Structure 1
Amino acid sequence: MIEERPDGASASDYLPPTQIRVLSLALIRHPGTGALFVTEYLDPARDETLHRPAGGGIEFGETSEQALRREFREEFDTELEVGERLGVVENIFVFNGRPGHEYIVVHEATFLDRAMLGHGPWPVLDAPSDVGVWRPATGVDLPRLVPDALADLF
């Protein structure tokens, strides 16, 4: 496992193409607006801005709930209350011109820190080119929510 990454790199940048990654992502809805909290990032090969629920990789021996709490501490220096597991989705994709394959455990969650309900954006502390934002649940001209299979869970 690679422990140090250059700024802006994700763990998937270092996985061989035959490696399947297991993630835990949080579906967080703003209590006032219904907006989704997502990580906004760029696919440089396509010059496309993407939105994905925040979270990250599950480490060996860690539950998906523990992974979410750790990832939000590392990425946003904040705490979560992790709720119901909504499901697991499989995602086979191409990012930055490279193939990827993930299994994603999705949980409902809420922020314990009310400041996270503000307008943001919030820099991702371990990937400074990415930010956390509140994404309207509906609307036109929104960046794509990935993976597409998430739509089946909410």
Structure 2
Amino acid sequence: MTEDGPSASQYLPPTYIRVLALALIRHPSSGALFVTEYLDPARGESLHRPAGGGIEFGETAEQALRREFREEFETEIEVGERVAVLENIFVFNGRPGHEWVVLHDARFLDDAMHGPGPHPVLDAPTDLGIWRPPTGTDLPRLVPDALADLV
């Protein structure tokens, strides 16, 4: 998404399979997971997804993650091991979507990102980067759904 593009809550999945890179970033002291929180307006449901975004043609998943974190949070990350590749078929904002998600461990290079936040997503102003507690009740759904088995 670009600066003048839609926020995630206005997002409509494309009619083709999209390839994403997402980062599993754990808080060094609490173990919380850094996620983007956004709303699916068609369902009125808040969702949590590890931060990241689309992989552009000719770009590796690692390069995409570094670029996305610069664009979304003006910060740098160190990208670690690939954890999984997940297929995600879903409905968002009333429209079906299909993605392949490349999931990597990562860490922030800027300690300021370990602060409590929230951290505004610069190219989607209604969305926030937040630290999701490692356990708890009444947390928004973590997506893609297959992540629950990995975290």
Deviations 1:94-136 (A, max 9, x none): 0000000000000000000000000000110000010000000
The change in CA–CA distance for 1:79 and 1:120 in structure 2 (over 3 A counts) is: same
1:88-99 aligned within 5 A = 88-99=85-96
Q: Secondary structure at the match of 2:113?
A: helix
How far apart are residue 48 of structure 1 and its match?
A: 0.4
The change in CA–CA distance for 1:29 and 1:4 in structure 2 (over 3 A counts) is: closer
Higher mean alpha-carbon deviation, 4-13 vs 118-127, is at 4-13
Query: 2:5: which partner in 1?
Result: 6
| Count of equivalent residues | 151
1:43-62 aligned within 5 A = 43-62=40-59
Q: Tell me whether 1:28 sits opposite 2:25 in the alignment.
A: yes
Deviations 1:125-151 (A, max 9, x none): 000010000000110011110111112
Q: Secondary structure at the match of 2:106?
A: strand
1:137-148 aligned within 5 A = 137-148=134-145
2:9–2:41: 8 Å Cα contact kept in structure 1? no
Computed over aligned residues only, the root mean square deviation of the Cα atoms, in angstroms, reads 1.8
Alpha-carbon distance in 2 for matches of 1:91, 1:11: 19
Alpha-carbon distance in 2 for matches of 1:29, 1:55: 14
> Which ranges in structure 1 are unaligned for 5 or more consecutive residues?
none
Deviations 1:45-96 (A, max 9, x none): 0000000000000000000000000000000000000001001000000000
1:7–1:128: 8 Å Cα contact kept in structure 2? no
User: Which residue identity is paired with 2:5?
Assistant: P
Q: Tell me whether 1:82 sits opposite 2:79 in the alignment.
A: yes
